[in-house]
Amino acid sequence: MITLKINDETAPLEAVLLGIAENFGGTPKPDDTYDPKSLFHVQEGTFPTEENILTEMAAFDKVLKKYGVDVYRPHDIAGLNQVFSRDIGIVIGDRFIVPSIQKNRRAEIEGIQYLIDQMDPERVLYTPEHTRMEGGDVMPYGEYLFVGYSKQPDFDEYLTGRTNEAGVQFLQTHFPDRKVMAFELRKSDDDPYVNALHLDCCFQPVGTKYAIIHREGFKNPEDADWLVNLFGQENVLEIDRREMYTMCANVFSISPQVVVSEKGFFRVNGRLREWGLTVEEIPYAEISKMEGLLRCSTLPLRRKYD
């Protein structure tokens, strides 16, 4: 039986699902991409190779195990991109949500069915078809549950709309003990410098009181203001459009003291160290070409709480 416990983004990590790159299907056709950054790199001939992705994910796996984390991996499904495990499951408290994600990605859930089968079935929730939600948009944070989403007509208009109002309502219904704070995200199917694919592309708590944020990723400025006020301006690192594009907000916390980050994030990594955090730098720039990074590659299953 797999024990689940996730209440926030930074408590000491005990167990995690890390995506895989084996047999990921290679460079897709332009019509088979579903975000503007992947499309750009397909068209430019710079989409990452399996060899490069394997190297980067191996570095991530090594760091996780260095800190004693139990690392699970999806079962390999040939020809399927299984790098970004974050979106195909969500742990809140001791419950696991199997979300209704984009149809062209649902086969990824088959790769983690062996894990779902080891969970208490009474703690597993399945979302209805009309309830759209991806894990990159859902972020437990103590009493809060931060959620990135798109209202109509944005959700139907943009391929990059991943979580809808029904998804927000599902979370409000099933987690009444959490204050669900839902933020509309700015979407674009054409411009990766504008598109906030998920909440974790433009916002991420780190440590015990800090956060990284890209204000322009939020459709409503007052939502970004609310988050900055919650953490305190002095505890927030604001990143610009270029830094969001390179996924600077999408770091991953192993504990309140340790953050895994891309080695080229010089300004961000410098600030994290100024805040007293240990930064484990790894190469992950090739994976970022698929509009995802470190948080996107992980699905935390259990963190330690006293």
Which pLDDT belongs to residue 103?
A: 87
3 is a domain residue: no
In a domain, 148, yes or no: yes
Confidence grade of residue 224 (pLDDT, cut at 50, 70, 90): very high
pLDDT tens track for 114-130: 999 999 999 999 999 99
Residue 147 lies in a domain: yes
Whether 28 maps to a domain, the answer reads yes
Considering its fold, how many domains does the chain have in total? Answer: 1
Asked if residue 102 belongs to a domain, the reply is yes
In this prediction, residue 89 carries a pLDDT of 98
Q: How many CB atoms lie within 10 A of CB 72?
A: 17
pLDDT at 306 over 90: no
Spatial distance between the Cα atoms of 198 and 217, rounded to a whole number of angstroms: 9
What does the CA dihedral 196, 201, 202, 206 come to, rounded to 10 degrees?
A: 170
Tell me the average pLDDT across 163-178: 98
* Helix, strand, coil shares, percent, the chain, to 5: 35, 25, 45
4 lies in some domain: no
What's the rounded Cα separation, in Å, for the pair 74 and 301? 13
Give the strands of the sheet with 138-141, arranged side by side.
138-141, 144-149, 179-184
Q: Are strands 13-18 and 298-303 parallel, antiparallel or unpaired?
A: antiparallel
Tell whether the model's pLDDT for residue 13 goes beyond 90: yes
Q: Which contiguous run of DSSP H or E holds residue 18?
A: strand 13-18
Alpha helices, H only, 129-233: 154-157, 165-174, 221-231
DSSP assignment letter at 214: -
pLDDT in tens, 256-294: 999 999 999 999 999 999 999 999 999 999 999 999 999
Pairwise CA distance, residues 12 & 134, whole Å:
23
Q: Which domain holds residue 193?
A: 13-303
- Cα(24)–Cα(101) distance, rounded to whole angstroms? 19
Q: CATH number of the domain at 124, please.
A: 3.75.10.10
Whether residue 116 lies inside any domain: the answer is: yes
Residue 180 domain-assigned? yes
Residue 32 · residue 276 · CB < 8 Å: no
Residue found under tokens 């830094």: 243
**CB atoms closer than 10 angstroms to residue 172:** 15
pLDDT at 105: 92
